[in-house]
């Protein structure tokens, strides 16, 4: 594997840290800026909105530029957003800075996945994507806890200064390690080709699989804290350690999914969605004991992130010669899954179905994702199985011409 993947992983580590650190610093931010915690929660939504808008927009705007230049520029925008967050004078400026920080998120992962796969042999594409995503999963194990502790002891602004330093290191790594060929060659497809790829039904089915599949994860994970405390009996102080177990499971699942997908991408995707549905369906049982809850959280991370690389490759495969915009749109789909899954899980809770009911709603979403992935596969089979005019002739549908073709 090329060393340049390390540069992409460093960028992913920074992005993963800034995405989730705000959740652990909401009380400190709310107290310092004089707003309520629910109001401070809008800072999480502002970042997610930036991801959804920025992923396709920035990928489209930069479609004609060399990808190495795009990646460095996106990380520069990330650095600016986090530095502005650290020095935001009031709540409204911080909302704007968080939105700005989210803008490069999806485009970085989308373009980064295209660059990662371009640097390796075809049989290692999934592993290259999983190594880039490794930065994101490790951020949940190490980056977010460390940044949260930094923010709690030195002030929340220190956490964003620390993330800015990671962004600076990522920019330097990208400039040094991404091959020079990526600095001079603009993508052949251009904006028109990238937009044309989004008119494909298989691409939209692949994006739909991402929304449903990762919506299953977030339907349960968004409410995992009350499950751990109210059902499994853990104290609130123990939740941080259990969430670290989720990060460990996600890291293992990401690496395992990348390795397996290089041998059978579709099989790994289908198997991962089935495993995710089973794990979520077992949540009510597993959450009834302390050891079962720890196992459930770990398995949830493993099953969900085993599908990450196959989902990214599936979208890029459907987009064929113009993958950058579709690959970035898939990152927007991940964030739509975050919002949609949390909303559906909340509906199950509000309906009074019990504290573990969001997991059952997630299991249903995983089954839906499996169905959408199956539909995408069926469309592909029909597309490639449909005979061309020449094939129909040779097959004997027009006997007189068929004889001519055989001669």
Average pLDDT over residues 346-363: 90
Q: Which of 83-87, 161-165, 233-237, 301-305 has the lowest mean pLDDT?
A: 233-237
User: Quick check: 156 pLDDT over 60?
Assistant: yes
Percent of the chain with pLDDT over 90: 34
Residues present in the chain in total: 407
Kindly tell me if the per-residue pLDDT of 202 is higher than 90: no
**381 pLDDT above the threshold of 90:** no
More confident residue, 275 or 263: 275
**pLDDT surpassing 80 at residue 223:** yes
Taking each helix axis from N to C terminus, what angle separates 357-385 and 323-350, rounded to the nearest 10 degrees?
150
- For the stretch 78-117, pLDDT in tens is 999 999 999 999 999 999 999 999 999 989 988 898 888 8
Which residue in 107, 80, 108, 111 sits closest to 12, CA to CA? 108
**pLDDT for res 179:** 80
At 118-129, the pLDDT tens digits run 888 888 888 898
Which of 141-150, 227-236, 283-292, 336-345 is predicted most confidently?
283-292
CATH 1.20.1250.20 domain locations along the chain: 1-187, 190-386
pLDDT at 188: 56
Sequence-ordered alpha helix ranges (H) in 222-356: 224-226, 239-261, 265-281, 283-286, 290-305, 308-319, 323-350
Give me the residue label for tokens 């055989």: 406
Which class is 1-187 in CATH?
mainly alpha
Q: What would the two tokens of residue 29 be?
A: 């931010």
Cα separations in angstroms, 175 against 12, 67, 215, 402? 15, 12, 35, 58
Contacts of 263 (CB under 8 A, 6+ apart): none
Cα–Cα distances (Å) from 63 to 59, 78, 110, in that order, read 6, 19, 12
Query: What pLDDT score was predicted for residue 298?
Result: 94
| Short-list 168, 165, 164, 73, CA closest to 111 | 73
Taking only the tens place, the pLDDT of each residue in 32-74 is: 888 887 788 788 778 888 888 988 888 888 878 888 889 999 9
Q: Which contiguous run of DSSP H or E holds residue 399?
A: helix 399-406
| Mean pLDDT for the chain overall | 84
At residue 289 the predicted structure's pLDDT band, cuts being 50, 70 and 90, is: very high
- pLDDT over threshold 80, residue 340: yes
The whole-number average pLDDT for the span 212-232 is 87
The confidence score (pLDDT) of residue 322 equals 67
What percent of the chain has a predicted confidence (pLDDT) above 70? Answer: 89
pTM over cut 0.85: no
Give me the residue label for tokens 């990238």: 194
At 295 the pLDDT is 95
Q: What local confidence, expressed as pLDDT, does residue 78 receive? A: 95
Please indicate whether residue 231 or residue 191 has the higher confidence score (pLDDT).
Answer: 231
Q: What is the DSSP letter of 387?
A: P
More confident residue, 94 or 381: 94
Return d(Cα 358, Cα 342) in angstroms, integer: 8
Q: How confident is the model at residue 271 (pLDDT cuts 50, 70, 90)?
A: very high
Segment of 85-94, 226-235, 341-350 carrying the highest mean pLDDT:
85-94
Quickly name the fold that domain 190-386 has.
Answer: Growth Hormone; Chain: A; (1.20.1250)
Q: Give the residue, 224 or 76, on which the prediction is more confident.
A: 76
The residue-averaged pLDDT of 140-168 equals: 88
């Amino acid at each position: 594997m090329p060393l340049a993947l390390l540069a992409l992983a460093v960028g992913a580590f920074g992005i993963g840290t800034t995405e989730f650190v705000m959740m652990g610093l909401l009380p400190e931010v709310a107290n310092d800026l004089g707003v309520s915690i629910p109001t401070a929660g809008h800072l999480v939504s502002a970042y997610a909105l930036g991801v959804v808008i920025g992923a396709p927009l920035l990928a489209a705007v930069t479609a004609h530029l060399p990808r190495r230049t795009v990646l460095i520029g996106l990380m520069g925008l990330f650095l600016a957003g986090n530095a502005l967050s650290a020095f935001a004078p009031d709540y409204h400026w911080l909302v704007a800075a968080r939105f700005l920080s989210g803008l490069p998120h999806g485009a970085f992962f989308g373009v980064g996945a295209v660059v990662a796969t371009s640097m390796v042999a075809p049989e290692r594409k999934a592993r290259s994507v999983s190594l880039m995503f490794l930065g994101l999963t490790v951020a949940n194990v190490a980056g977010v806890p460390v940044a949260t502790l930094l923010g709690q002891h030195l002030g929340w602004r220190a956490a964003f200064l620390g993330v800015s330093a990671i962004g600076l290191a990522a920019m330097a790594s990208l400039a040094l390690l991404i091959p020079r060929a990526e600095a001079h060659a603009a993508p052949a497809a251009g904006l028109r080709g990238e937009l044309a790829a989004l008119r494909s039904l298989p691409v939209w089915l692949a994006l739909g699989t991402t929304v449903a599949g990762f919506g299953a994860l977030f339907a349960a994970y968004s409410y995992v804290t009350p499950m751990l405390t109210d059902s499994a009996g853990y104290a609130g102080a123990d939740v941080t350690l259990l969430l670290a177990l989720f990060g460990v499971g996600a890291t293992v699942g990401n690496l395992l999914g990348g390795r397996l997908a290089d041998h059978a991408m579709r099989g790994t995707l289908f198997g991962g969605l089935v495993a995710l549905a089973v794990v979520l369906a077992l949540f009510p049982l597993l959450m009834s004991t302390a050891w079962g809850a720890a196992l459930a959280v770990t398995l949830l991370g493993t099953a969900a992130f085993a599908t990450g690389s196959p989902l990214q490759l599936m979208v890029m495969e459907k987009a064929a010669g113009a993958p950058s915009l579709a690959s970035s749109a898939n990152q927007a789909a991940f964030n739509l899954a975050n919002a949609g899954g949390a909303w559906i899980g909340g509906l199950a809770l509000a309906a009074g179905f019990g504290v573990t009911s969001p997991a059952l709603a997630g299991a249903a979403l995983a089954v839906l994702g499996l169905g959408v992935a199956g539909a995408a596969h069926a469309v592909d089979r029909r597309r490639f199985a449909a005979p061309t005019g020449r094939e129909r002739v040779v097959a004997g549908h027009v006997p007189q011409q068929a004889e001519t073709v055989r001669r």
